[in-house]
């Protein structure tokens, strides 16, 4: 029982960075912009957060720096993909390659340093609930931030006027523009939100999950998050389930090793990537259903009056 609770708690921790970055990408894609640069923005968030926390001694400063770095990166992308109407695939790839290079360059001096990361804070009363209390309410503060972000995104999309406008722009920017909506401005904001969340997810890795910096420490999580949004058919409720499912897949090798199951670490480390492909297969084999759920203008640049 003790083991199961611990595994579930670790699953939530492993799923949190995925949830954070995928929530940002969900909003971005709902506005019709596909940003493949998640990995690059996360890495920049991770290195900026770690550097700022190390030099200031404050984890909060680190988190803010990570969010700022994520937004900065996303605005570069927005300039290319929204203002210059560049190919979104190429611009996103460029962002990832650029972010990978820049973060490795900036972080070269920080490899080997370590800091005291976020520690667990139990929420009074809620953490006393059997099992669920330990799993969800005895975690580090950024996990609670991810819950709030999830609730915020879900309510925003479903119940707010602004959420409706965002979805309208993602479905049909021409019609939205004809109705007087600022398509480009909204897309900029959506991309920036995605950047902020990716930065935060990066900070989660370098300040809470493993409080240190190594090159490429995101290990493809930004890409998995992109698959996760497809898996969730652009709906936040499914996204949170998916994030924890992937979280479970990524810690499975630790669990199995803990149980004394002898298998190669490298083979088990493939699991999250295999699960991602499997999920894509299960969800994509029916193209009609994919088309039904995808925001209609996803990936297509929009230039008013062109």
- Cα separation, 139 vs 190, whole angstroms: 29
Please report, as residue ranges, which positions from 106 to 125 form the binding site for other proteins (by CB under 8 A): 107-109
Contact of 33 with 160, CB cutoff 8 Å: no
- Per DSSP, the three-state class of 122 is strand
Which of these ranges, 7-15, 17-25, 64-72, 280-288, lies near other proteins under the rule CB under 8 A? 280-288
The β-bridge relationship of strands 121-122 and 138-139 is: antiparallel
Q: How far is the CB of 97 from other proteins (least distance, A)?
A: 5
What's the closest the beta carbon of residue 104 comes to other proteins, in angstroms?
4
Looking at residues 221 to 250 of the shown chain, list those that interact with other proteins (rule: CB under 8 A). Answer: 223-224, 226-227, 230
What is the rounded CA–CA span in Å between residue 16 and residue 120? 14
303 sits near other proteins (criterion: CB under 8 A): yes
Question: Which one of residues 102, 145, 241, 256 is an interface residue with other proteins (CB under 8 A)?
Answer: 102
CB burial string 106-135: b at 16+ within 10 A, e below? bbeebeeeebebbeeeeeeeebeeeeebbb
Burial (0-12, 13-18, 19+ Cβ within 10 Å), 292 = exposed
Residue 79 or 144 having the CB closest to other proteins: 79
Chain positions contacting other proteins, by CB under 8 A: 36, 76, 79-80, 83-87, 89-91, 93-95, 97-102, 104-105, 107-109, 215, 219-220, 223-224, 226-227, 230, 264, 266-267, 269-270, 273-274, 276-277, 280-281, 284-287, 290, 303, 306
């Amino acid at each position: 029982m003790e083991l199961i609770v611990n595994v579930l708690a670790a699953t939530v921790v492993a799923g949190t960075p995925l949830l954070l970055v995928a929530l940002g990408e969900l909003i971005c894609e709902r506005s019709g912009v596909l940003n493949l640069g998640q990995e690059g923005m996360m890495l920049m968030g991770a290195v900026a957060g770690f550097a700022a926390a190390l030099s200031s001694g404050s984890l909060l400063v680190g988190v803010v720096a990570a969010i700022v770095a994520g937004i900065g990166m996303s605005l570069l992308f927005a300039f290319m993909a929204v203002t210059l109407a560049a190919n979104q695939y190429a611009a996103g790839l460029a962002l990832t390659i650029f972010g990978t290079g820049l973060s490795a360059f900036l972080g070269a001096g920080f490899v080997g340093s370590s800091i005291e990361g976020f520690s667990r804070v139990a929420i009074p009363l809620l953490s006393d609930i059997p099992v669920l209390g330990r799993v969800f309410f005895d975690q580090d503060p950024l996990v609670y931030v991810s819950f709030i972000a999830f609730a915020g995104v879900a309510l925003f999309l479903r119940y707010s006027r602004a959420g409706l406008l965002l979805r309208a722009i993602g479905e049909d920017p021409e019609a939205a523009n004809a109705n007087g909506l600022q398509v480009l401005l909204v897309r900029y904001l959506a991309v920036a939100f995605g950047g902020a969340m990716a930065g935060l997810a990066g900070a989660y890795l370098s300040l809470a999950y493993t409080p240190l910096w190594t090159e490429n420490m995101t290990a493809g999580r930004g890409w998995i998050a992109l698959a996760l949004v497809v898996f969730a058919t652009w709906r936040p409720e499914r996204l949170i389930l998916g994030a924890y499912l992937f979280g479970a897949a990524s810690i499975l090798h630790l669990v199995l090793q803990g149980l004394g199951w002898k298998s190669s670490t490298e083979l088990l480390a493939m699991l999250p990537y295999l699960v991602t492909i499997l999920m894509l297969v299960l969800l994509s084999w029916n193209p009609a259903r994919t088309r039904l759920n995808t925001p209609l203008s996803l990936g297509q640049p929009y230039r008013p009056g062109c």
